[in-house]
Structure 1
């Protein structure tokens, strides 16, 4: 297949591009490489995919790599560009689109709300319109466990009511799901929304807890523990996330309206303190902890019901201990610690 992966310089997009190329697919990666976090990490991911930084820095220029069994071409572009994105679709003739590009982060949405509307709403509309006019066989897009808000249910199901997001980031993800349903209903475009649950692993984002805690411990700085540590997350290792995406990619929605939502999580939530203990163990030192109240827009717990995806063959198999060790081994190697 010829697959467009947006957000290809990002954490999940990088790993998905690598997997698809390994399977022999033709991959075109798109990213605007914004400075929400260190762009050097984004360029380093692209380098792993065979794209040199000097090439990746240019706008709207296709850069090719033949590093893997399949092929990878990168283009630097904004999703919200109403001229360049439709032209890319027309010229490249994609079979499938995996839209992982978005302005990420719950807390940053309190500081820079405009970025979320531009990328996550306007940009997603351009993706939908481009899919509509170019006979895309399947659109997969990143949603988030944050849409569940302050749910008090023991397990979060895609059948739950998610009408009360508590951050603008979550609201944009909920809006993506509504927009996708409309396009599936009106134009018959098969769409799958992927509700990710706290993804971690090698090449992860610097604004996530795994990265923040590891960096602080390595530099002998204190770590911030919110809600006084009384939190739990459905931490999901990146390889399990990629397995879930590829399973969903290869199985079209079978509903009357070709629309589907699915959780991709571990299904076994861990307490934040247990997560920190695993990091401490593999770093070989105890963290100095500063206990703080809950942050605005954050939630105390997440827990994924993955039963629908399991029917298609999905299973999260990576333990917290294995996943944390893999991240820390990568971190020490990447930063020469």
Structure 2
């Protein structure tokens, strides 16, 4: 298939693009390479895909990978740029769109709300319009575990109410789910939303706990531990996430002969809740170093615990998360040391 992957310079988008190409699909990666975090990390991800920085910096120009040839192409635009986005859809005949582009980060949304409205609402709306107008049969898109907000019942189930988000980021992701439902209902194309749970692994985001803790411990600088360490997260290794996305992208059915609905939502996580202090201990054990912890209060927009019920994804796509925390941490640390020449 020919697949558009938005957010291709991002953590999950990079891994997904690489896997899809290796499986024989054609990929067009899209990203605006914004500076929310290190653009050098984003350009180095693209370099791994064979798109060198000089090429990747060109605006609204489709460039070809030096590593994968015509099987992987890249274009630098934002989803907010409606005319450019529509032109891309007109020139390329996509079978499936996988939208991983978004302004990420719960805490950042408290300080820069406009960025979230522009990218996650306006950009997503533009994408839906392009899909509608260019006869794309399936949109797979990133939602987030943050939509569960003030929900206290664990594990989180798709059937639980998500009407009480506590960050603007979460609110935009909930909005994406509602917008997708509307377009599926009105225009008859499939949408599948994936609520990601705390993804970590090689090439991860530097604003995430795994990255921050590893950096702090190696540099012998204090790490901030929120809610005095009384937090739990469903930490999910990147390979398990990609293994869950691929079958959904490849499941190119139509509702006319398949009983599955046009509109679908799934949790995708490790299906285990790990105490934050145990997660830190796993990093310490791998590095053979101890962290200097600075206990902090709960942060605005944060939740105490996340835990995914993935039974729907298991039922429909035989999803399994097979990577233990110890194994995943070791893989990340190995990459981190190599990347930063430690």
Bin of the TM-score, shorter chain as denominator length = over 0.9
2:340 aligned residue: 335
1:304 aligned residue: 308
1:220 aligned residue: 220
Say yes or no: does 1:268 pair with 2:246. Answer: no
TM-score, L = length of structure 2: 0.97
Q: Secondary structure at the match of 2:106?
A: coil
For the 8 Å contact 2:151–2:164, the answer to whether it is kept is: no
For the 8 Å contact 1:25–1:70, the answer to whether it is kept is: no
2:179 aligned residue: 179
The 5-angstrom pairing of residues 165-244 of structure 1 reads 165-244=165-244
For the 8 Å contact 1:185–1:257, the answer to whether it is kept is: no
TM-score, L = length of structure 1: 0.98
Deviations 1:112-140 (A, max 9, x none): 00000000000000010000011112100
Range moving further from structure 2, 248-257 or 152-161: 248-257
Deviations 1:123-160 (A, max 9, x none): 00001000001111210000000000021112101111
1:34 aligned residue: 34
How much does 1:284 deviate? 1.2
Deviations 1:18-71 (A, max 9, x none): 000010100000000000000000000000000010010110011101524971
- Residue in structure 1 matching 2:294, options 284, 290, 294: 290
2:118 aligned residue: 118
2:139 aligned residue: 139
CA separation of 1:269 and 1:70: change in aligned 2, threshold 3 A: farther
Q: Output the CA distance in 1 between the equivalents of 2:263 and 2:66.
A: 34
For the 8 Å contact 1:24–1:69, the answer to whether it is kept is: no
2:156 aligned residue: 156
Question: Which runs of no fewer than 5 residues in structure 1 stay unpaired?
Answer: none
Say yes or no: does 1:321 pair with 2:339. Answer: no
Q: Output the CA distance in 1 between the equivalents of 2:180 and 2:219.
A: 44
Deviations 1:251-285 (A, max 9, x none): 35756750000010000110000000000011110
Say yes or no: does 1:13 pair with 2:18. Answer: no
How much does 1:250 deviate? 2.4
CA separation of 1:255 and 1:107: change in aligned 2, threshold 3 A: farther
Q: Output the CA distance in 1 between the equivalents of 2:311 and 2:69.
A: 33
Q: Output the CA distance in 2 between the equivalents of 1:161 and 1:101.
A: 25
For the 8 Å contact 1:247–1:313, the answer to whether it is kept is: no
Q: Secondary structure at the match of 1:194?
A: strand
Q: Output the CA distance in 2 between the equivalents of 1:71 and 1:232.
A: 40
Q: Secondary structure at the match of 2:123?
A: helix
How much does 1:247 deviate? 1.8
Q: Output the CA distance in 2 between the equivalents of 1:99 and 1:256.
A: 21
For the 8 Å contact 1:6–1:13, the answer to whether it is kept is: yes
Aligned residues: 337
Moved >2 Å (runs of 4+): 66-70, 250-257
Say yes or no: does 1:278 pair with 2:279. Answer: no
Superposition CA RMSD, Å = 1.2
